[in-house]
Amino acid sequence: MAQKKKPQPSPDGSTPPPTKSAQARAQDDQVMATNNSSIVSKRSVEKLYYPNEPHFFRFFVKKFQRRAPLINRGYHFRLHVIDVLVRNFLRALSKPGTNGKPKKKVVVNLGCGSDVLPWQCLTRYPESCVGVKFVDVDFPDLIERKRATVEATEELRGVFTGVKGRGEVEAPVVWESEEYVQIGCDLRELGTLRRGLERVVEVEECEFLFVAEVSITYMEREGADGVVKWAATLGDAEFVLLEQILPEEEEHPFAATMLSHFGKLNTQLKSVHTYPTLQSQLDRFSSREWNSVQAWTLWQAWADETFLSNEERRKLDEVEPFEEWEEFAIFGAHYCVIHAKTQPGDVRIAGTRDVKVHDSLRDALPSRKLTVQYDALPGQKGQRRFAAAMFLPKEDVIVNTMGLGTKSRLQSCDIYSRGAHTRGMELTFGDGGPTTRMCHTLTDLGGDCGILLAGGRAGPADVHKDCWIFNRSTTSWVKTHDLPTPLYRHSVTSLRQPGLVLLAGGRGVTTDLFGDFLLFTPESGWTTCEILGDLKPLAVCGALLASRGAVDGVEGHFHGVYAGGIREGLIARQVLTWELVISESKKPTIQFKIPVLDEFYRHTLERFGATAYWDGSSYNVVGGIIRDELLQRSLETLQLDDAKGELSIQRTKYLGINEDEFPPPPLLVGASTIPLSDGQFVVVGGGATCFSMGTFWNKGVYTFRPTNQPEDDDQTTVSITSWSHEKTIDIVPGERSAPLRRKPTVDGGSNAQVHVKTIPRIKLQSSEDFENLLRKGQPAVLEGLDLGACTSLWSLDYLASQIGPDRQVVIHDSHTQSMNFTSKNFKYTTTNFSDFTQRLKAASRLYLRALSSDKPSEKPASLSSDFPTISSDFALPSQLALVSKNLFSSVFRMSGPVNMWLHYDVMANVYCQISGSKRLILFPPSDVTHLSFAPGASSSSIDVFSTLANAPWELAQTSPQEATLSPGDVLFLPPLWLHTATPTSDVSIAVNVFFRDLDGGVYAAGRDVYGNRDIAAYEKGRLDVGKLVDSFKKVPSDIREFYLLRLAEELKGRARG
């Protein structure tokens, strides 16, 4: 067996590294590829945040891509922190060398990628850069590409003097000038790196600053530690390290998402498990000859004036709107900044907190126990953030409203039911409601007063001031008093007396913060409270606000707590108790006090984005973010006791339902917390964008229940009922367009009832008769037409035998007779045709609207293609030749005792009743404004049959027409006629044929499976309306409303003129 040759010494006496395996080279390539994504983000930062500087990243990025605000802000601050520490090094007085002259300063960027640090420093600090040498170090392949870019770009090359030719430099140096050097070297080859430095500077006569921005963490831990230790051997040296940490270990949702991201790229973070905390990073450097070490998290550095003054921080918001503070804080808490020096100095974590003292205080806190029940949800169900939730005890459901979904803001709500109940499936909303929004609030007004929705926003510049009350008895939204100014990220608490609510803080249309406190009553709306005394809270948004209700039973006197919030990018340092006094004769007053509280407890309570409520004996605080650090899990939920002006805290110890299985930890950011009457609280929704590494969603429902057990007993036998996601309901925006008429009195009124006309029945003699009917644009029942053998053959048994008992079909399976497309009070179920027909015989509430058997989401239905074994039984008669000529789709329909919701079709169609009978109600297109059709929606939630039977006056502004179809009847429906249907027999079978009756250019291009896609002009018009509304964004809301309403009236006039 041949022996491997040992590597031969190189001319300088050192041993070259062994040849890398293919796997090792592939790993290096993947690490180098991380540069490609980061420089795109840095280019985005460069263009947005530094418009008045020369841009250098543009030469390494082929195409500009504007990143999201979170990524821009995060990369900007990463770059800024390094820039500040490099700037300070450059400006510091140089130490004398052995020759008595000042030492030469050398900035070495380890794993530089395509960073442009030398060019930026030379541009920003030219005087401080005189005589300084910048050295970029990275893998030879990457450095070679960087060399080529510099050589080919005059804006990069022309900055430097004394540039040497390719033949004048010696490896590992690949490019050299007086000011700037490139070294191609694997950082694991420290001998090679040393040789490279020795070829361009006199090492002993230099002081070095080494920069490693998320670079050495990709190395094996031993190699990375070798770099740290080696750098300290060069004499006068400093080291700036920026890389990831795991402050709450890898189970934390952000950490798990981050590790998964780098794992998928096969660029695992190697140092993070050995050095997961600031303290471990401090020890890492102090044990390797670095005598002065300071450590920050990026979130801590954000608040440190070492890096940003208040004015600099404020000006950043002028670049682009930014409000992703929870995500920015969590990102920042997972990155450390280490500044180490070989010169003597302190070894400490920066900031004012005494970490060890705080840790001991935390550990000494009494703890309460919470048992956690986790109910996983399938797929993407329940995934929404910055929504607001309410509990409806009668239905025993939780409703999580609107918020931000996986792609956009949502106009819907999720319904969760408890245990085996399916009451949520019955829940529907009355017509009208708030428009799409996030960062709004829902507050139970108590008693029979309903639930108050206040404010929120669509886009950052589209902030709402409208308020709504959800009426539990009618399950409908009713508009109430507007806020005095548009607000979002405000704080609201019930005063625990029916109808009384207190609002504090918030953000408006501009970056201005709202500093007032508002009292709400259903009768009077919002009233500004007078603040008594000299102590006035800071104006903030997202503060912690809760009320314990009336003080010792004294009427009109209420107590509570107010803490934290955010202003100018920093968590506000305030924890206050308050007393609100309400009088019928005077303006409400509120007065604040500073409670007795240790600094650590104050730090823990000063939160942004937390939920707080009074459970009858203490405050409960859930989630949010705090200053400087990641909120530790035991402090995420707190119990806060209030006794005689002194607040005390209990941390949390979590117990799982099963001893051997603990639920995945939730991310209590953007989540909705709902307290229940039995002391439990439930968390639904929530999640966060984890910087550039993906989005984390809470994938289930968390129920927390206090457990009274001995301190040392971690077992639990507590039973908690599970929650399940029942359905998602759309909320139709806007007030009901046709105001409800009053119920008629005994003597009535001429307009109290609605008259329902009968649709005429006619016989067609020729195809010309149908063309004349089409031109008139009025519905009619066509009698005496020959539809083929289907009218005599199509029984349930016949269809099952011909179609095949195992044929799979997708059906609507409803719990109620009246299906509602808006609220989705039915399920889509896949079943075989035999089971379907058997359930129809048993009078199940089922509906089949056949789809294309080939491509159901792309192609319209076709009876001949989808059901070839029965298609020959059906034929369109010669009188309907125009239908056959312009055929779009032919839909096979079967139903049990279930109503089809009110909707319209854009295409004309003929509904052919084959078996059974059906009653249809039609409305002319002009009635669309009276029947609660949301913009862009072709379906309404109005139950026409129920309304006609029980409250016909509600349809008094409409002109309904009806027809009852028997076997062989054909109903002609002109385009856009609104219609709904109910069976008058146990089973109904029909074929619905759609056809194009307008010029081809009128219809919208693209997919239209159902024949109800609105025409192209309307779709374009909706986009134009959006642009029109956007043009008013900078206008005050009352002026915007005035002019938009005027434009709406102008549109109405043109439509009818």
Secondary element (H or E) of residue 700? strand 700-707
Q: Which domain holds residue 795?
A: 757-996
Same domain, 469 and 415: yes
Chain centroid to CA 785:
55
Structure confidence at residue 539 (pLDDT): 97
Structure confidence at residue 714 (pLDDT): 52
pLDDT confidence of 1019, banded at 50, 70, 90? Answer: confident
Secondary element (H or E) of residue 613? strand 611-614
Strands of the 133-138 sheet, one edge to the other: 173-176, 180-184, 133-138, 104-110, 206-213, 237-244, 335-341, 292-297, 347-349
- pLDDT of 235 > 60? The answer is yes
Q: For the chain, what percentages of helix, strand and coil (3-state, to nearest 5) are there?
A: 25, 30, 45
Chain centroid to CA 259:
21
* Residue in 425, 468, 469 with CA at minimum distance from that of residue 447: 469
pLDDT confidence of 431, banded at 50, 70, 90? Answer: low
Same domain, 811 and 936: yes
Q: Rounded to an integer, what distance in angstroms lies between the CA atom of residue 511 and that of residue 316? A: 12
pLDDT confidence of 582, banded at 50, 70, 90? Answer: very high
| HEC letters along 825-859 | CEEEEEEEHHHHHHHHHCCCCEEEECCCCCCCCCC
Structure confidence at residue 358 (pLDDT): 65
- pLDDT of 57 > 60? The answer is yes
Answer yes or no: is 21 within a domain. Answer: no
- pLDDT of 1033 > 90? The answer is no
- pLDDT of 710 > 50? The answer is no
Least confident of 128-132, 151-155, 318-322: 318-322
Structure confidence at residue 181 (pLDDT): 98
pLDDT confidence of 952, banded at 50, 70, 90? Answer: confident
User: Counting every residue, how long is the chain?
Assistant: 1057
Estimate the crossing angle of helix 796-803 against helix 833-841, to 10 degrees. 170
Structure confidence at residue 689 (pLDDT): 96
User: What is the average pLDDT across 1000-1020?
Assistant: 71
Answer yes or no: is 13 within a domain. Answer: no
Q: Rounded to an integer, what distance in angstroms lies between the CA atom of residue 677 and that of residue 391? A: 10
Q: For residue range 509-537, list pLDDT tens digits in order.
A: 876 899 999 999 999 999 999 999 999 99
More confident residue, 850 or 231: 231
Answer yes or no: is 1016 within a domain. Answer: no
- pLDDT of 737 > 80? The answer is no
Answer yes or no: is 970 within a domain. Answer: yes
Domain containing residue 108: CATH number: 3.40.50.150
- pLDDT of 672 > 90? The answer is yes
Q: For residue range 168-196, list pLDDT tens digits in order.
A: 999 999 999 999 999 999 999 999 999 99
* Residue in 453, 432, 1033 with CA at minimum distance from that of residue 1041: 1033
- pLDDT of 1036 > 90? The answer is no
Q: Rounded to an integer, what distance in angstroms lies between the CA atom of residue 868 and that of residue 729? A: 37
Same domain, 697 and 811: no
Burial 10-25 (b: 16+ CB within 10 A, else e): eeeeeeeeeeeeeeee
User: What is the average pLDDT across 414-419?
Assistant: 91
Least confident of 111-120, 517-526, 747-756, 1020-1029: 747-756
- pLDDT of 483 > 70? The answer is yes
Structure confidence at residue 4 (pLDDT): 36
User: What is the average pLDDT across 1038-1052?
Assistant: 79
The domain boundary, picked from 715, 730, 745, lies at 730
Same domain, 899 and 938: yes
The domain boundary, picked from 351, 381, 403, lies at 351
Estimate the crossing angle of helix 69-91 against helix 22-49, to 10 degrees. 90
* Residue in 972, 863, 978, 997 with CA at minimum distance from that of residue 912: 972
Answer yes or no: is 181 within a domain. Answer: yes
pLDDT confidence of 1057, banded at 50, 70, 90? Answer: low
- pLDDT of 713 > 70? The answer is no
User: What is the average pLDDT across 919-933?
Assistant: 90
Structure confidence at residue 1005 (pLDDT): 66
> Residue 984 in 3-state DSSP?
coil
User: What is the average pLDDT across 91-119?
Assistant: 95
Is residue 816 within 8 Å of residue 845, measured between CB atoms? yes
Least confident of 29-38, 445-454, 546-555, 569-578: 29-38
Half-sphere exposure of 678 (CA within 13 A, CB side): 11
* Residue in 175, 102, 114, 139 with CA at minimum distance from that of residue 20: 139
Same domain, 603 and 622: yes
- pLDDT of 324 > 90? The answer is yes
Same domain, 233 and 117: yes
Structure confidence at residue 743 (pLDDT): 46
The total of other beta-carbon atoms located within 10 Å of residue 346's CB is 9
Same domain, 722 and 761: no
- pLDDT of 626 > 60? The answer is yes
Structure confidence at residue 646 (pLDDT): 78
Answer yes or no: is 964 within a domain. Answer: yes
Structure confidence at residue 969 (pLDDT): 96
- pLDDT more than 70, % of the chain: 90
Answer yes or no: is 1009 within a domain. Answer: no
More confident residue, 352 or 447: 447
Structure confidence at residue 750 (pLDDT): 39
Q: How many domains does the chain have?
A: 4
Same domain, 346 and 383: no
Q: Rounded to an integer, what distance in angstroms lies between the CA atom of residue 106 and that of residue 110? A: 12
Burial 266-275 (b: 16+ CB within 10 A, else e): ebebbbbeeb
Same domain, 656 and 781: no
User: What is the average pLDDT across 260-285?
Assistant: 96
User: What is the average pLDDT across 914-919?
Assistant: 96
Same domain, 264 and 214: yes
Domain containing residue 953: CATH number: 2.60.120.650
Q: Rounded to an integer, what distance in angstroms lies between the CA atom of residue 924 and that of residue 975? A: 10
User: What is the average pLDDT across 970-997?
Assistant: 94
Is residue 329 within 8 Å of residue 296, measured between CB atoms? no
User: What is the average pLDDT across 769-798?
Assistant: 94
- pLDDT of 321 > 80? The answer is yes
Same domain, 624 and 499: yes
DSSP 102: B
The domain boundary, picked from 332, 351, 370, lies at 351
Least confident of 63-67, 366-370, 819-823, 898-902: 819-823
More confident residue, 352 or 767: 767
Same domain, 617 and 726: yes
CA angle (1011 as vertex; 1007, 1017 as ends), nearest 5:
70
User: What is the average pLDDT across 1036-1045?
Assistant: 76
Give me the chain's average pLDDT, please.
Answer: 89
Chain centroid to CA 517:
29
pLDDT confidence of 29, banded at 50, 70, 90? Answer: confident
Answer yes or no: is 18 within a domain. Answer: no
Domain containing residue 658: CATH number: 2.120.10.80
- pLDDT of 655 > 90? The answer is no
Tokens 């543009």, residue? 58
The beta strand positions in 298-420, using DSSP E, are 335-341, 347-349, 367-376, 388-392, 397-401, 412-418
